[in-house]
Protein backbone atom coordinates (compact mmCIF):
# COMPACT_ATOMS: atom_id res chain seq x y z
CA UNK A 1 0.00 0.00 0.00
CA UNK A 2 1.42 3.41 -0.98
CA UNK A 3 2.05 6.15 1.57
CA UNK A 4 -0.84 8.10 0.11
CA UNK A 5 -3.25 5.15 0.42
CA UNK A 6 -2.16 4.53 4.00
CA UNK A 7 -2.70 8.17 4.86
CA UNK A 8 -6.09 8.15 3.17
CA UNK A 9 -7.21 5.16 5.25
CA UNK A 10 -6.06 6.87 8.46
CA UNK A 11 -7.83 10.07 7.42
CA UNK A 12 -11.06 8.16 6.81
CA UNK A 13 -10.81 6.51 10.21
CA UNK A 14 -10.19 9.86 11.89
CA UNK A 15 -13.09 11.47 10.05
CA UNK A 16 -15.35 8.60 11.06
CA UNK A 17 -14.93 9.63 14.71
CA UNK A 18 -16.73 12.88 13.91
CA UNK A 19 -19.06 11.13 11.44
CA UNK A 20 -17.32 12.56 8.37
CA UNK A 21 -16.09 10.48 5.43
CA UNK A 22 -13.48 11.73 2.95
CA UNK A 23 -13.63 10.37 -0.60
CA UNK A 24 -12.76 11.26 -4.18
CA UNK A 25 -15.38 13.01 -6.29
CA UNK A 26 -17.19 11.25 -9.12
CA UNK A 27 -18.97 12.79 -12.09
CA UNK A 28 -22.37 12.41 -10.41
CA UNK A 29 -21.20 14.56 -7.48
CA UNK A 30 -20.76 17.78 -9.44
CA UNK A 31 -24.22 19.26 -9.00
CA UNK A 32 -23.91 18.88 -5.23
CA UNK A 33 -20.39 20.33 -5.35
CA UNK A 34 -21.61 23.39 -7.23
CA UNK A 35 -24.57 23.86 -4.88
CA UNK A 36 -22.35 23.70 -1.78
CA UNK A 37 -19.85 26.04 -3.38
CA UNK A 38 -22.55 28.61 -4.08
CA UNK A 39 -24.03 28.62 -0.58
CA UNK A 40 -20.55 28.87 0.94
CA UNK A 41 -19.66 31.84 -1.24
CA UNK A 42 -22.93 33.60 -0.43
CA UNK A 43 -22.73 33.16 3.34
CA UNK A 44 -19.08 32.92 4.35
CA UNK A 45 -17.27 35.74 2.54
CA UNK A 46 -19.78 38.59 2.71
CA UNK A 47 -17.65 40.55 5.20
CA UNK A 48 -14.71 40.76 2.80
CA UNK A 49 -16.47 41.04 -0.57
CA UNK A 50 -19.47 42.97 -1.87
CA UNK A 51 -22.51 41.42 -3.55
CA UNK A 52 -21.26 42.15 -7.06
CA UNK A 53 -17.98 40.37 -6.37
CA UNK A 54 -19.74 37.41 -4.78
CA UNK A 55 -22.18 36.93 -7.65
CA UNK A 56 -19.29 37.10 -10.11
CA UNK A 57 -17.27 34.61 -8.04
CA UNK A 58 -20.18 32.17 -8.02
CA UNK A 59 -20.23 32.17 -11.82
CA UNK A 60 -16.43 32.15 -12.10
CA UNK A 61 -15.96 29.28 -9.65
CA UNK A 62 -18.76 27.28 -11.25
CA UNK A 63 -16.80 27.43 -14.49
CA UNK A 64 -13.56 26.50 -12.68
CA UNK A 65 -15.12 23.32 -11.27
CA UNK A 66 -16.51 22.22 -14.63
CA UNK A 67 -13.14 22.38 -16.42
CA UNK A 68 -12.40 18.90 -15.06
CA UNK A 69 -8.69 19.66 -14.51
CA UNK A 70 -8.81 19.06 -10.76
CA UNK A 71 -8.63 16.19 -8.30
CA UNK A 72 -11.52 16.83 -5.91
CA UNK A 73 -11.89 15.40 -2.40
CA UNK A 74 -15.32 15.31 -0.78
CA UNK A 75 -16.38 15.33 2.87
CA UNK A 76 -19.72 13.66 3.63
CA UNK A 77 -21.73 13.47 6.83
CA UNK A 78 -23.98 10.53 6.12
CA UNK A 79 -25.40 11.23 2.68
CA UNK A 80 -24.90 15.01 2.93
CA UNK A 81 -21.98 16.71 1.22
CA UNK A 82 -20.47 19.07 3.80
CA UNK A 83 -17.25 20.17 2.10
CA UNK A 84 -14.79 19.66 -0.73
CA UNK A 85 -11.26 20.60 -1.72
CA UNK A 86 -9.53 20.56 -5.10
CA UNK A 87 -5.94 20.15 -6.28
CA UNK A 88 -5.06 21.12 -9.85
CA UNK A 89 -4.02 18.05 -11.82
CA UNK A 90 -0.85 19.40 -13.39
CA UNK A 91 0.42 22.10 -11.03
CA UNK A 92 1.04 22.23 -7.25
CA UNK A 93 -1.86 24.57 -6.63
CA UNK A 94 -4.99 24.31 -4.50
CA UNK A 95 -8.01 25.09 -6.63
CA UNK A 96 -10.59 25.32 -3.84
CA UNK A 97 -11.51 24.51 -0.26
CA UNK A 98 -15.19 24.94 0.63
CA UNK A 99 -17.15 23.86 3.70
CA UNK A 100 -20.91 24.11 4.14
CA UNK A 101 -21.75 27.05 6.46
CA UNK A 102 -23.56 24.70 8.87
CA UNK A 103 -20.40 22.61 9.33
CA UNK A 104 -17.61 25.17 9.70
CA UNK A 105 -15.11 25.02 12.57
CA UNK A 106 -15.43 21.24 12.94
CA UNK A 107 -12.09 20.31 11.36
CA UNK A 108 -13.62 19.45 7.99
CA UNK A 109 -11.61 22.01 6.04
CA UNK A 110 -8.45 20.90 7.82
CA UNK A 111 -9.01 17.23 6.93
CA UNK A 112 -9.79 18.10 3.32
CA UNK A 113 -6.67 20.23 3.06
CA UNK A 114 -4.55 17.43 4.51
CA UNK A 115 -5.90 15.07 1.85
CA UNK A 116 -4.98 17.57 -0.86
CA UNK A 117 -1.50 18.09 0.59
CA UNK A 118 -0.84 14.37 0.79
CA UNK A 119 -1.87 13.93 -2.83
CA UNK A 120 0.52 16.75 -3.75
CA UNK A 121 3.32 14.96 -1.88
CA UNK A 122 2.47 11.75 -3.76
CA UNK A 123 2.87 13.81 -6.96
CA UNK A 124 6.38 14.78 -5.74
CA UNK A 125 5.46 18.44 -5.20
CA UNK A 126 7.78 19.97 -2.60
CA UNK A 127 5.79 23.19 -2.25
CA UNK A 128 2.08 23.82 -2.65
CA UNK A 129 0.50 27.16 -3.52
CA UNK A 130 -2.90 28.73 -3.04
CA UNK A 131 -4.55 31.99 -4.01
CA UNK A 132 -6.47 32.52 -0.78
CA UNK A 133 -9.58 34.61 -0.38
CA UNK A 134 -9.24 37.35 2.22
CA UNK A 135 -11.56 35.39 4.50
CA UNK A 136 -9.42 32.22 4.41
CA UNK A 137 -5.96 33.68 5.09
CA UNK A 138 -6.03 32.88 8.80
CA UNK A 139 -7.22 29.34 8.08
CA UNK A 140 -4.26 28.65 5.80
CA UNK A 141 -1.82 30.42 8.12
CA UNK A 142 -2.93 28.22 11.03
CA UNK A 143 -1.98 25.16 8.96
CA UNK A 144 1.53 26.31 8.12
CA UNK A 145 1.03 28.42 5.01
CA UNK A 146 3.00 31.62 4.64
CA UNK A 147 2.04 34.75 2.79
CA UNK A 148 3.87 35.50 -0.46
CA UNK A 149 2.11 38.68 -1.47
CA UNK A 150 -1.25 40.36 -1.76
CA UNK A 151 -2.74 39.77 -5.18
CA UNK A 152 -6.05 39.39 -6.95
CA UNK A 153 -7.69 38.62 -10.26
CA UNK A 154 -10.47 39.80 -12.54
CA UNK A 155 -13.41 37.48 -11.97
CA UNK A 156 -15.10 36.79 -15.32
CA UNK A 157 -12.42 39.06 -16.76
CA UNK A 158 -14.01 42.26 -15.45
CA UNK A 159 -14.59 42.39 -11.66
CA UNK A 160 -11.52 42.77 -9.46
CA UNK A 161 -11.34 40.37 -6.51
CA UNK A 162 -8.56 40.82 -3.95
CA UNK A 163 -6.74 37.75 -2.67
CA UNK A 164 -3.48 36.68 -1.03
CA UNK A 165 -0.95 34.33 -2.60
CA UNK A 166 0.33 31.79 -0.05
CA UNK A 167 2.55 28.71 -0.02
CA UNK A 168 3.56 25.80 2.19
CA UNK A 169 6.71 23.69 2.11
CA UNK A 170 5.52 20.08 1.98
CA UNK A 171 8.89 18.35 1.61
CA UNK A 172 11.92 19.94 3.31
CA UNK A 173 14.74 20.97 0.99
CA UNK A 174 17.88 18.85 1.08
CA UNK A 175 21.19 20.35 2.20
CA UNK A 176 22.31 20.35 -1.43
CA UNK A 177 19.21 22.24 -2.54
CA UNK A 178 19.67 24.83 0.21
CA UNK A 179 23.33 25.29 -0.75
CA UNK A 180 22.44 25.60 -4.43
CA UNK A 181 19.84 28.24 -3.66
CA UNK A 182 22.35 30.23 -1.58
CA UNK A 183 24.95 30.05 -4.35
CA UNK A 184 22.42 31.25 -6.92
CA UNK A 185 21.47 34.14 -4.63
CA UNK A 186 25.12 35.14 -4.17
CA UNK A 187 25.78 34.96 -7.92
CA UNK A 188 22.75 37.14 -8.66
CA UNK A 189 23.87 39.71 -6.07
CA UNK A 190 27.38 39.78 -7.53
CA UNK A 191 26.02 40.26 -11.05
CA UNK A 192 23.82 43.12 -9.92
CA UNK A 193 26.74 44.67 -8.04
CA UNK A 194 28.91 44.37 -11.15
CA UNK A 195 26.24 46.08 -13.26
CA UNK A 196 25.99 48.94 -10.76
CA UNK A 197 29.78 49.40 -10.69
CA UNK A 198 30.03 49.41 -14.50
CA UNK A 199 27.17 51.91 -14.74
CA UNK A 200 28.82 54.24 -12.21
CA UNK A 201 32.16 54.02 -14.02
CA UNK A 202 30.49 55.02 -17.27
CA UNK A 203 29.00 58.06 -15.58
CA UNK A 204 32.36 59.25 -14.28
pLDDT digits (tens, 9 = 90+) for 142-185: 999 999 999 999 998 899 999 999 999 998 877 787 788 888 98
Taking only the tens place, the pLDDT of each residue in 101-132 is 999 999 999 999 999 999 999 999 999 999 99
Same domain, 187 and 105: no
Same domain, 131 and 179: no
Same domain, 70 and 140: yes
Same domain, 127 and 186: no
| CA 111 vs CA 13, 27, 74, 88, 172: distances in Å | 11, 22, 10, 18, 21
Same domain, 113 and 191: no
Same domain, 18 and 104: yes
Taking only the tens place, the pLDDT of each residue in 69-85 is 999 999 999 999 999 99
| CA 107 vs CA 45, 97, 129, 190: distances in Å | 19, 12, 21, 48
Total domains in the chain come to 2
Same domain, 125 and 194: no
Q: Which domain holds residue 113?
A: 3-172
Residue with the bigger pLDDT between 193 and 12: it is 193
Same domain, 115 and 178: no
Give the CATH number of the domain where residue 7 resides.
3.40.630.30
Q: For residue 121, count CB atoms less than 10 angstroms from its CB and return exposed for 0-12, middle for 13-18, buried for 19 or more.
A: middle
197 band by pLDDT with thresholds 50, 70 and 90 = confident
Same domain, 160 and 77: yes
Same domain, 158 and 110: yes
Same domain, 115 and 24: yes
Amino acid sequence: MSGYCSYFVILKLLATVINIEISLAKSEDFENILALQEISLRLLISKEYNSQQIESLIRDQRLARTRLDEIIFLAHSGSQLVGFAALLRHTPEIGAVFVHPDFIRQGIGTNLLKAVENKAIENKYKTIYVMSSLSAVNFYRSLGYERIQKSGFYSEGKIWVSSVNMKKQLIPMTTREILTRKIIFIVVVLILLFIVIVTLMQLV
